[in-house]
Amino acid sequence: MSTRYLVAVGNEIRKGLRFAWSERLQILIELPMFGVFILLLGPLLGQGEVVVGGEVEWALDSATTSVMLVWFVPFIFFYMQVVKMFWRLLGEIQAGTIEQVYLSPLPPWLVAAVGRVVAAFLETLLVAAGTVAIVAPFVPIRVDWNAAALLPAAMIMLAAVGVSLIVAGATLVWKQIQFVNDTVLLVVMLFSASAVPLIDVPAWWADASHAFPLTDGVGSLYTALFTDGSVTEPWGMGGLVPLLVVTFSYLAAGIVAFGFGERVAKRRGTLGRY
């Protein structure tokens, strides 16, 4: 029985990687945009009063740019997982192959998740390497990588899987939800920026940001890579308690939402209908 599950997991991972490979040109086209985003935004961060006064000195700061990359790379993974999950699922619905999910011994939500997460991870590594290669000639990148970062990295991946399953469940029912998808990503990006010292936000913004899936993961990653603090501190931005509670809440909500969307689509007879 265990061999059947391993074979099923391997098949879904290979399938996800084939989808990712088919989109390689799109990622390569987008790659320079990510590097330019860092180069253009970096000098403006923390310069609000200067910008208003019209006296911006366009200079990249190594510390700020390094922190920005540590915020940006997790968001790219989140983006790759959530957006590509939506488009892959929509493509299978359009092609009439979505029912193949039920030929696997794995639960349908796990088939959908495992087929995307490895590809998203590899795509993120490619984007991260390309972005650093573009930015590094202009400003030194200094990040002290260590094993403590593995905990927030794993939580970020699980939270992204949870959100992508919520999106997948909604896609099974309503199909065309691109606008909702994009809005969710924008809100997650804005609130996650409060987890690192890049922008000043009101206290209510910082408090509310804990409810979003990426914020405490990014905060914990910042703690691991840029401070002497511990990722096992229970409270505060990136604290272990909100990190674990929010991550597993989104993962559980994603599993429930996918199952609910699946049942609704089956009841309506629209599971494989675009």
The answer to whether the Cα torsion of 136, 30, 153, 125 is positive or negative is: negative
User: Helices 62-95 and 178-192, interaxial angle, to 10°?
Assistant: 160
Domain count for the chain:
1
Q: Is residue 82 part of a domain?
A: yes
Residues spanned by the domain of 130: 2-268
Q: Is residue 40 part of a domain?
A: yes
* All residues at 6 or more sequence positions from 47 whose CB lies less than 8 Å from its CB, including other chains: 56
The span from the CA of 239 to the CA of 223, in Å, is 9
- Which residue ranges of the chain lie beneath pLDDT 50? 1
Distance of CA 112 to the CA centre of its chain: 16
In this predicted model, what pLDDT tens digit does every residue of 219-244 receive, in sequence order? Answer: 999 999 999 889 999 999 999 999 99
- Given this model, what pLDDT does residue 33 score? 85
Q: Is residue 273 part of a domain?
A: no
Q: Is residue 239 part of a domain?
A: yes
Q: Is residue 53 part of a domain?
A: yes
Q: Is residue 274 part of a domain?
A: no
Residue 72 to residues 9, 155, 239, Cα–Cα distance (Å)? 29, 16, 20
- Token digits for 11? 């098949």
Answer for the pair 191, 159: CB distance below 8 angstroms, yes or no: no
* All residues at 6 or more sequence positions from 141 whose CB lies less than 8 Å from its CB, including other chains: 62, 65, 66, 69, 132, 135
Q: Is residue 73 part of a domain?
A: yes
